[in-house]
Structure 1
Amino acid sequence: RSLQNSLVKRLVKLREDPHFRREEKKILVTSKKIISEIPYPPDRVFFTDENPSFSSEAENILVSDKVLQKITGLPSPDGVAAEFSLPPPTSMEGNSYLLACDRITDPGNLGTLIRTALALFWDGIVFLPGCVDPFHEKVLRASRGALFRLPYHVGTWEELTNWQKKKKATCYVADMEGIPLHKAPRPENLLLILSHEGEGVSPQGAAMGEKISIPISHKMESLNVSIAGSILLYELRRIAQ
């Protein structure tokens, strides 16, 4: 297949364009490790002649090294890429421990938080307006594909507020001016809101719950949102048990 082939162009667009991904309900995955861990088979697998196909159920397409570089956008790809259906969003109704991401725009930070939420037994994650696309290729790599296994919802502040009221959930908002983490009372149902570290929490989020902070040395001004968020995800989930 040539670099100008229509399928190659489609795959590049699928990787780069979030609107196209949503329209097609498809995603291109360019990591061998992530492909192997997704809990359902791909639609198509693209591989070089040195690498066997991952799935006999998929359409297997042999490509050159240059075509795979073009498809993946990587100078040294894993030797395989795959097209999957996007995992569908879910309702928030059944969740008791929910992470909400408010205007987190850095793909690495968002991916780390998704991966951590799955690892630490949180029920689901909500992406509020202003977040980077959760299926951005850098989010996908940082999260190790966790969003294929963690229930997620792309929602609004109104939906989140309604969920909180219905669940009577304790809401904590990460903020440097908040109460120290070790003084947080034990919650029944739990909502944690993490926000853009430069701009702080949105007014809607600030009105929803108690501000909570991690005491740190005066020698350091602040923590990165993915580091602070990971600490809060661990400790709040622990005290909620």
Structure 2
Amino acid sequence: MQCPNQFLMLPTHHSLPLMNFPDFQTKSSSFCSWNRIPKIHHGPKAYHGFYVENASKKMLPFPPKVKNITSTSNPFVKHCVKLRLSSSYRYLHGSVLVVGAILDRPIIECLLVLDNSHIPEEIDYPSVHIIRVNSVVMSKLSGVQSNDSVHVIALVRFPTTFHVASDNLLEEDCRKWFSFPHRILVLDGIQDPGNLGTLLRSATAFRWGGVLLLPGCCDPFNEKALRAGRGASFQIQIITGNWTHIETLRKEFQMKMLAGHPSISDKLNPVLKLSKELADSLAELPLCLVLGSEGTGLSETSKSSCELVSIPMAGEFESLNVSVAGGIFMYMLQPENHVTI
């Protein structure tokens, strides 16, 4: 098991404006905390419109110089904890709490460092707001009880590589979703954050062009997804959308549609076997690979819209964990030559 305090440096992305944080110099904070936020679900409509517009309205300059926080009742601490726990709150504010990982400076809003802990040399002091916290506050912020396991927490903005596709998006705009749409991973109802994070990590490692999340997937900025992905949520291009967006993408780039499926054949849609020969025959073709959840598998739309492909296995096993299967699929189908278009 990897220590969550291990530092991770990620590529630079353009940043969003700074968000609204508490004014620590006053007893009555100028920070407006939303105590009642409607429950929303991950999907193309979930974080569009109302939430995005209100997040932009709440963007204000960073608070005055604050160097230490010693109380868990501090409004900024409560704000950070809510960012870690609440998906809707994260999307409302456009910020993520990353425990134990250092991301590139342009998207860092604030760095919370445990008292007497070393500040990484990569951090530029003038441009990064650093706040020292004690072990009690650090435990509250991280959700980890061991004081020795987490020394640094970064409050970061959503990366520009993340986009929520709107229902009224024009077809030609799909070219802006992915810089390299030769290999796109589509996740269909992946609810387990550990599996989703691992799949994002594998897609990044095997140079896939991006990931499209269908409705029912968990939040890619969920703390468990971030931990499993080791920062992949900030590196690979991620789009949330639905099958209308996939169809737009397919038509625009003439993409072949594949879906991972157990080896049990469907009379209406026979299952191909993953092999080097199959991978070689698809090497020059842009494609989408759809993976379904372990519990319910592929949706009917996914099964009817794709050619089904299985991983040959010995013994009586019919399927693998989706993150394991996804890693095998993405390795076999990875682009041989990565060229940015």
Contact 2:107/2:157 (8 A) holds in 1: no
TM-fit CA distance, 1:186: 1.6
The aligned counterpart of 1:73 is 143
> Which is worse superposed, 107-116 or 85-94?
85-94
Contact 2:98/2:156 (8 A) holds in 1: yes
The aligned counterpart of 2:333 is 236
**For 1:74-111, what per-residue CA distance to the aligned partner results, in whole angstroms no more than 9, with x for missing partners?**
11242111100011324435422100000001111111
Tell me the distance in 2 between the aligned counterparts of 1:174 and 1:73.
Answer: 35
TM-fit CA distance, 1:210: 0.4
TM-fit CA distance, 1:240: 8.8
Tell me the distance in 2 between the aligned counterparts of 1:118 and 1:6.
Answer: 36
1:13 maps to which of 72, 82, 106:
82
Contact 1:101/1:127 (8 A) holds in 2: yes
The aligned counterpart of 1:217 is 314
Q: Please say if 1:102 is aligned against 2:195.
A: no
Residue type of the alignment partner of 1:140: L
SS in 2 for 1:162: helix
> Which is worse superposed, 196-205 or 208-217?
196-205
SS in 2 for 1:193: strand
Higher alpha-carbon Rg: 2
TM-fit CA distance, 1:220: 2.6
> Which is worse superposed, 74-83 or 118-127?
74-83
Residues 210 and 221 (structure 1), Cα distance of their counterparts in 2 relative to 1, 3 Å cut: closer
Residue type of the alignment partner of 2:244: E
Tell me the distance in 2 between the aligned counterparts of 1:240 and 1:194.
Answer: 24
Contact 1:186/1:240 (8 A) holds in 2: no
Residue type of the alignment partner of 1:8: V
Tell me the distance in 2 between the aligned counterparts of 1:16 and 1:230.
Answer: 28
Q: Please say if 1:181 is aligned against 2:274.
A: yes
Percentage of pairs with the same residue: 34
Tell me the distance in 1 between the aligned counterparts of 2:71 and 2:113.
Answer: 14
SS in 2 for 1:43: strand
The aligned counterpart of 1:82 is 154
> Which is worse superposed, 204-213 or 119-128?
204-213
Residue type of the alignment partner of 2:177: M
SS in 1 for 2:78: helix
**For 1:106-157, what per-residue CA distance to the aligned partner results, in whole angstroms no more than 9, with x for missing partners?**
1111111000000001010011100011100000010001121111101111
Contact 1:50/1:79 (8 A) holds in 2: no
TM-fit CA distance, 1:221: 3.6
Contact 1:186/1:239 (8 A) holds in 2: no
Structure number with the higher helix fraction is 1
Residue type of the alignment partner of 1:213: S
Give the 5 Å matches for 1:138-217.
138-176=224-262, 177=264, 178-182=271-275, 184=278, 185-187=281-283, 188-217=285-314
Structure number with the higher strand fraction is 1
Contact 2:208/2:335 (8 A) holds in 1: no
Tell me the distance in 1 between the aligned counterparts of 2:105 and 2:256.
Answer: 32
Instruction: Please give the TM-score of this superposition, normalised by the length of structure 2.
Output: 0.66
Instruction: Please give the TM-score of this superposition, normalised by the length of structure 1.
Output: 0.93
Tell me the distance in 2 between the aligned counterparts of 1:109 and 1:67.
Answer: 30
Contact 1:179/1:211 (8 A) holds in 2: yes
Tell me the distance in 1 between the aligned counterparts of 2:116 and 2:309.
Answer: 52
2:94 maps to which of 10, 13, 25:
25
Residue type of the alignment partner of 2:297: G
Contact 2:105/2:128 (8 A) holds in 1: no
Where structure 1 has 5 or more consecutive residues not aligned to the other structure, the ranges are: none
TM-fit CA distance, 1:63: 0.7
Superposed CA RMSD: 1.8
